[in-house]
Amino acid sequence: VGSVAASGAPHPQLATCLHAVFCLGRLDDCIVDLAGRVRSDLRTRIRSALDMSSLMQKTPFVSGSGQAAYGSGSGGGGGPPGRANLPAGQSAAYSQALWSGLDALNEEAISGAQFLASLRRILAKKRDPNTQRPLSDLLSPAASEAISPAGFADWLSDCLRDSLANAASASAFLKHAFEGEYPRLLKSANDLSTRLAAVDEELPLLGRAHLASFEAAYLSSRLFDPVDAMFSGGQKSLNSEIEIRRIVEAMTSELTFTQVDQDLLLKIAKNVVKTVQFVCRKAEATRVADATASQVLGPPTEGQQ
């Protein structure tokens, strides 16, 4: 049955094989094995898509001689796998490869969900010749759980959470990509969840728990870091008009990028309010109110400037 399923055989042929396996008394083992293959293949593809060494091997770059080449996984840095130094100027290429790989990964997840949905439909239609009960009613709890929509969704969410966390831990580039481009990561996750729900209405939404750490990092840095940088040098380095314009542009940009998700947009909007308050507090702290602020006998003090 596994070879028939892997070959993409038409449903009638797969249904015939499943019925034959049932008559041999091996249906439960067969279903568990098929579901296990789907998960194993998908887990392998997830890890490959999130492996920095694989990205470097697949992404062409122009060497110093001007010839196209491919990363060896070491990046010339001699570091451990996944922490290799990126060739200069190649971040954009690796970023494109990463997001393209995640798009392809979504397609693989959809294919896996579609196959499991097909199994459930076949088992619901095929019947025991003796009792006329659907084969789906005769499955063991383990076999039923293996192909259940909720079971697949829970497994996929856990697998993505662990794989994303491991990838971010192993590669500073991937960590920066997931945190710095979090709206893009969230959009990919939302698209996958929506498409999975379209495959089977019983499939629960994946949620975003597996993205929580990246969202927290994104929200804590995107707007507050520019404000800290603006005031880090004291009054002498403060160029209010230019720096304020940059902060306003950053807030506008974030509000635009985060429109991919209503919940994230609301959180960013709250951060915009906090950022304005933060700027006001920082600006208030730079104001000098002691005697040096009103002196006129000497050159302008730092506070007067």
Is residue 103 scored above 90 in pLDDT?
A: yes
Please, are residues 271 and 223 in contact by the beta-carbon 8 Å criterion?
A: yes
Question: Quick one: which of 253, 92, 105, 59 has its CA closest to 173?
Answer: 92
d(CA 116, CA 32): 11
Per-residue confidence (pLDDT) for residue 59, from 0 to 100: 72
Residue 82 φ then ψ, to 5°:
85, -15
Residue-wise pLDDT for 162-207, tens only, equals: 999 999 999 999 999 999 899 999 999 999 999 998 888 777 777 7
d(CA 229, CA 198): 46
Per-residue confidence (pLDDT) for residue 27, from 0 to 100: 92
Cα–Cα–Cα angle for 103, 157, 7, rounded to 5 degrees: 60
Residue-wise pLDDT for 139-159, tens only, equals: 999 999 999 999 999 999 999
Per-residue confidence (pLDDT) for residue 282, from 0 to 100: 76
Question: Quick one: which of 188, 186, 13 has its CA closest to 102?
Answer: 188
More confident residue, 183 or 87: 183
Mean pLDDT score of the chain:
80
Q: What's the whole-number mean pLDDT along residues 258-284?
A: 85
The band of 292, judged by pLDDT with boundaries at 50, 70 and 90, is low
Per-residue confidence (pLDDT) for residue 281, from 0 to 100: 81
Is residue 264 scored above 60 in pLDDT?
A: yes
